[in-house]
Amino acid sequence: MNHPFAKMHGLGNDFVVIDERDGPVAMTGALARAIADRKTGIGCDQLILIGASDKADVAMRIFNQDGSEVEACGNATRCVPLFVGNDVTIETRAGILDARARDGLVSVDMGEPRFDWQAIPLAYAMDTLEMPVSWDDLPAPSAANIGNPHVVFFCDDPGAIDMATLGPQIEHDPLFPARVNVNFAQIIGPDHIQLTVWERGAGFTRACGTGACATAVCAIRRKLCNGPVRVSLEGGDLVIDWVPGGRIVMTGPATHVYDGTIDFETLAPVPA
């Protein structure tokens, strides 16, 4: 059976988007890995399922390259209004999100960040503003949950850091029982941050919306920046607006690349 899909991306963070509003798709971690494989599948950072919801206009499920299902993806959320053809509220495992397209950009109300150690979650209690832990020569990080868990390191010279080694090491550290997204940030100015993200279950991606939100929020919380903050990633810029105690608004581009169909039965299995 052929299943229609759309290939989309937000700043190069790319997605295969499948509509299951007319009938559920029997998605598994193994099938998500096979679709995401760039050699034998379609290829993507995340697989997105858009379904019916009794709480919002649509529901969204998100699977990483490794087949794990996750709570939130900011760049994918920006693609949803383009996929369905209008502004939408979106039910996710992280809550209800509101996405609106304006002047070629999409703004998403990402909700309120959470900072309690239990909400990240961490394995034991500690202050998440400036955590009394580190790895190698990294500075003490901050942590935030933006629907999914993030740890943020503010580095003077990110180029001197072995991110390819430290990213997966920190992602799987026992301190983070649900694993964690790892953000390596450099403060460029009071309203500008340069960011590289090692995404939980996906590795390096060209952009990470929730990572940009977490990094901007932590920078504002530590009084390193004032909002709104421009966050520059490999794929381009996002603007994050947040006032302490309020909700995060993320604004940036989203692109619909092409449509196609795929027969799931032709996909080669990809080991976990």
Tell how far CA 169 is from the center of its chain: 19
Catalytic residue numbers, as ranges: 73, 208
Cis peptide, bond prior to residue 132, ω within 30 of zero: no
Backbone phi and psi for residue 160, each to the nearest 5 degrees, phi listed first:
-90, 0
- Residue 252's nearest CA partner among 218, 220, 206, 221 is 206
Burial of 137 (0-12, 13-18, 19+ CB in 10 A): exposed
Residue pair 149/126 in contact by the 8 Å Cβ criterion: no
Tell how far CA 176 is from the center of its chain: 17
Q: How many CA atoms lie within 13 A of 139 on its CB side?
A: 15
